[in-house]
Homo-oligomer: A and B are copies of this chain.
Amino acid sequence: MNFTISDEHAELQQRTRTFIAEHVIPMEGDERCTAHGPTDGLRDELVAKARKAGLLSSHVSAEFGGLGLSHIGKAIVFEESGYSPLGPVAMNIFAPDEGNMHMMEEICTPAQKERWLRPLAAGLTRSCFCMTEPPPGSGSDPTMLQTIAVRDGTDFVINGVKWLITGANGASFAIIMAKLEDGRATMFLSDMNAPGIKVERTMNALDSCFVGGHGVVSFTNLRVPEENILGELGEGFKYAQVRLSPARLTHCMRWLGAARRAHDTALRYAAQRQAFGKTLGQHEGVGFMLADNEMDLHVTRLAILHCAWVLDQGHLGTRESSAAKVISSEAIWRVIDRSAQILGGQGMTHETIVARIFADARSFRVYDGPNETHRWSLAKHAIKSIRH
């Protein structure tokens, strides 16, 4: 049992922290931060800075230009990155690209990697992950998939509609989950400019931290040749798990940084702002909120690190990542909510970054599987384990 951060990770932590402070936070007021996320133009500028700082796509292997970070390494670096809503964008480790790269490195053929992964990891392109569908399609229950892929010679012809597709607008390519005629789920790769793909619209959302926002994407007789199948035919759900467990955890890491930022902002305010004869922080009512923030941040970090370590041991970590996701998303939300409350009226406005983090973070309890689904899964595991 050892909680020491390695020298290498400590150096990277410090370097990331400095990078975020000096190069990213100053850009937060840039007017290219729109309601649908930072524009691609702003993103390119930020990516260039991270590239120069040697902090681009740090989770990808050296072969594709990254630092090949372990999960523990990611826990440390991604938290720092999340300290600004623009940090993960700059460092090319934001959703869905970060998870897509991870999965693609595990599953793609060499040719697929050269065509799609290399430029993605280099920060030259963006991608999207087309899984979620509008009712009555596939939401938290993936088996309700409606999008269909019908074989036609060596091609597959895909039809269907997806929504909540983060980053669709402006993406170079998509990973598409569809079911075959026999009902088995399969993932396909396709350039976004292929005939038959259309971003119907970008949805208005609470959050504004994802480049490209969240789109509705339709497939109308989209042809995908069989060399663009991602992995094996019919193994779509298995690969989704490959993607989801670590992707869920990297979400935790980034949001932890965001929550720490909110807390630091509130803490600084509470240390100075006077009310009723003393500083806010000297009021126990506020002090207790600050203490709860510190404990929630602490517990979240421990749960993330532990799960990262489990994944680093080569385990699938389904239970641990479910638990880490629920623990993190709820603790982080409490931290951000308290921080906004401490800031008072100002916390309800964009005078500080906290309101933006607040609007961004709400979805964390829903994305990557609603917490209800994870609780159910944890319960099933627990009951099964007691029976043995």
Contacts and interface: CB of A to CB of B under 8 A. Distances in A.
Contacts of A281: 379, 382-383
Contacts of A72: 1
Interface string A3-25: 11110000000000000000000
Identical copies in the complex: 4
A174 interface: no
Given A287-B376, A292-B375, A379-B291, A303 B309 contact: no
Interface stretch (A43-51, A176-184, A365-373): A365-373
A223 interface: no
Interface in A119-157: 132, 134-136, 139-141, 144
Chain A contact surface mostly: helix
Contacts of A380: 287
Contacts of A282: 383
Interface of A: 1-6, 72, 132, 134-136, 139-141, 144, 163-164, 203-207, 214, 264, 267-268, 270-276, 279, 281-288, 290-295, 298-299, 302-303, 305-306, 308-310, 323, 326-327, 340-341, 344-351, 355, 358-359, 362-363, 365-367, 370-372, 374-376, 378-380, 382-383, 386-387
Given A271-B387, A370-B344, A386-B264, A206 B349 contact: yes
Contacts of A372: 283-286, 288, 341
Contacts of A275: 139-141, 144
20 contacts: A1-B309, A140-B276, A144-B274, A163-B345, A203-B350, A267-B383, A267-B386, A284-B284, A284-B288, A288-B376, A291-B379, A294-B382, A295-B323, A295-B327, A302-B302, A340-B362, A345-B366, A345-B367, A348-B366, A348-B367
Given A288-B379, A345-B363, 14 more contacts: A2-B309, A134-B346, A203-B351, A205-B355, A267-B383, A284-B288, A284-B376, A284-B379, A285-B285, A287-B383, A290-B383, A291-B375, A295-B323, A344-B370
B362 A358 contact: yes
Contacts of A376: 284-285, 287-288, 291
B348 A290 contact: no
Contacts of A387: 271
A9 to B, nearest CB: 8
Contact of A326 (B274, B295, B323, B340): B295
A318 to B, nearest CB: 13
B1 A375 contact: no
Contact of A204 (B141, B264, B286, B350): B350
7 interchain residue pairs of minimum CB distance: A287-B379, A284-B284, A291-B378, A204-B350, A302-B302, A291-B375, A348-B363
Contacts of A140: 275-276, 344
Contacts of A294: 323, 378, 382
A309 B4 CA distance: 9
A271 B386 contact: yes
A341 B292 CA distance: 18
Listed residue (A1, A136, A205, A344) with the most chain B CB atoms within 10 angstroms of its CB: A1
Contact of A285 (B134, B214, B302, B375): B375
Nearest to A312: B1
